[in-house]
Amino acid sequence: MKEFWSQRIRDMVPYTPGEQPKGRTFIKLNTNENPYPPAPGVTAAIQAAAGEGLRLYPDPECTQLRAALAAYHGVTPEQVFVGNGSDEVLALCFQAFFCGGKPVVFPDITYSFYPVYAALYGVDYRLIPLNEDFTVPVEAFLGENGGVLLPNPNAPTGRALCLDQIERLAAGNPEAAVVIDEAYVDFGAESALALLDRYPNLLVVRTMSKSRALAGLRVGYAIGSANLIAGLNCVKNSFNSYTVDRLAQAGALASVEDEAYFQENRRKVMHTRTRVAAELEALGFTVCPSQANFLFASHPAHGGKELLDGLRSKGVLVRWWDQPRISRYLRISVGTDGEMDALLSALKELL
């Protein structure tokens, strides 16, 4: 039944995203979406862009949005690349930087899309085991690597590296691209942006899906040296000239322009995270210290799958992986306070 398929994809196991339920209404704590709406100006900007102009192609270079992001982050527009979600940006990174002879390295416990990209693009990789407490053994990432890829904070653990550790990664891999996936950085970790001046091999990847509550719009970006950004553009322009549509460009721009809303949004999520982590611990859970908009937690008396299924039966979706070392853990997105109270009530009934 795979007639006509290219050989490489016949054995591919694609990435499985968290369930997007249809029909029944769940409390959705399974895909790290933001529980609050995007900045109010986003809707107005999109509505204004939704007219006759749609007949024209979008700006393939996202000039206005890149200028706004450059100003926001204190870099030049030539240091900014925008893509159709950070997943696309990461896929382009594999092609732009990791298709050499040497393996790219990433942790054994991390965003499970990474090995899928590697398989799709024929990139060798080497998994580096996290320490027992899920901290990153930085020394093991230094050396003759074909590239380094690391989320900070890491997913699904939520644990963050400090800036010194990121700097050791960049300095210790001077001939390889070091890609820091900062999808969750706005919820409390230190950004590697501060290191860009000194490390031309360092690339920071961001998404607007989480802290800017724009998962439905598909906008991600990368910031790094003009040389690395040119590499991403080379791949992008060999694949799809216009990856970011007019509405996404307009909406993302409006989000960047509302700093007060952004700060208030992330503050609320972090506040709820702190409270819920303490309440989970009071219920007997072990909770990883999280700098992200999710909590990674296990219970000594109840398996991960058991709790996943129990919560689902009570109308609460969380995420679980059938994978060594973490099969007792749940990843729980931080929702509104009301949603988290419902989660905690459901857990109390299950335990």
User: Is 171 or 215 the residue whose CB approaches its own copies more closely?
Assistant: 215
| Tokens matching residue 214 | 């724009």
User: Is 118 or 347 the residue whose CB approaches its own copies more closely?
Assistant: 118
* Contact with its own copies (CB under 8 A) among 76, 131, 238, 286: 238
Are 127 and 107 in contact by the 8 Å Cβ rule? The answer is yes
Kindly indicate which of the ranges 48-56, 159-167, 184-192, 309-317 contains the residues binding its own copies, using the contact rule CB under 8 A.
48-56
Residues in region 241-270 near its own copies by CB under 8 A: 241-248, 251
- The continuous run of DSSP H or E covering 73 comes out as helix 63-73
| Tokens matching residue 133 | 């407490």
| Residue 148 to residue 132: CA distance in whole angstroms | 21
According to the binding rule CB under 8 A, does residue 313 interact with its own copies? no
Name every residue whose Cβ is closer than 8 Å to that of residue 32 and which is 6 or more positions away in sequence.
Answer: 155, 184, 210, 292, 293, 294, 331, 333
User: Is 218 or 299 the residue whose CB approaches its own copies more closely?
Assistant: 218
According to the binding rule CB under 8 A, does residue 217 interact with its own copies? yes
According to the binding rule CB under 8 A, does residue 293 interact with its own copies? no
- Provide φ and ψ at 21, rounded to 5°: -65, 145
How many other β-carbons are positioned within 10 Å of the β-carbon of residue 259?
11
Shortest distance, CB of residue 171 to its own copies, whole angstroms? 15
According to the binding rule CB under 8 A, does residue 278 interact with its own copies? no
According to the binding rule CB under 8 A, does residue 211 interact with its own copies? no
Shortest distance, CB of residue 87 to its own copies, whole angstroms? 5
| Residue 128 to residue 239: CA distance in whole angstroms | 31
Give the DSSP letter string of 285-334. Answer: -EE---SSSEEEEEBTTB-HHHHHHHHHHTTEE-B----TTTTTEEEEE-
Residue 214: name the closest of 1, 34, 64 by CA.
Answer: 34
Residues in region 107-146 near its own copies by CB under 8 A: 116-117, 119-120
User: Is 203 or 347 the residue whose CB approaches its own copies more closely?
Assistant: 203
Shortest distance, CB of residue 213 to its own copies, whole angstroms? 4
User: Is 117 or 320 the residue whose CB approaches its own copies more closely?
Assistant: 117
According to the binding rule CB under 8 A, does residue 28 interact with its own copies? yes
Residues in region 52-71 near its own copies by CB under 8 A: 52-60, 63
Q: Is the peptide bond before 153 cis (omega within 30 degrees of 0)?
A: yes
Kindly indicate which of the ranges 69-77, 89-97, 294-302, 339-347 contains the residues binding its own copies, using the contact rule CB under 8 A.
89-97
* Contact with its own copies (CB under 8 A) among 74, 129, 137, 216: 216
According to the binding rule CB under 8 A, does residue 77 interact with its own copies? no
For residue 115, count CB atoms less than 10 angstroms from its CB and return exposed for 0-12, middle for 13-18, buried for 19 or more: middle
User: Is 16 or 286 the residue whose CB approaches its own copies more closely?
Assistant: 16
User: Is 262 or 285 the residue whose CB approaches its own copies more closely?
Assistant: 262
According to the binding rule CB under 8 A, does residue 336 interact with its own copies? no
CA angle at 223 for the pair 197 and 93, rounded to the nearest 5° = 120
Q: Count interface residues toward its own copies (CB under 8 A).
A: 88
Residues in region 163-182 near its own copies by CB under 8 A: 175-177
186 in helix, strand or coil?
helix
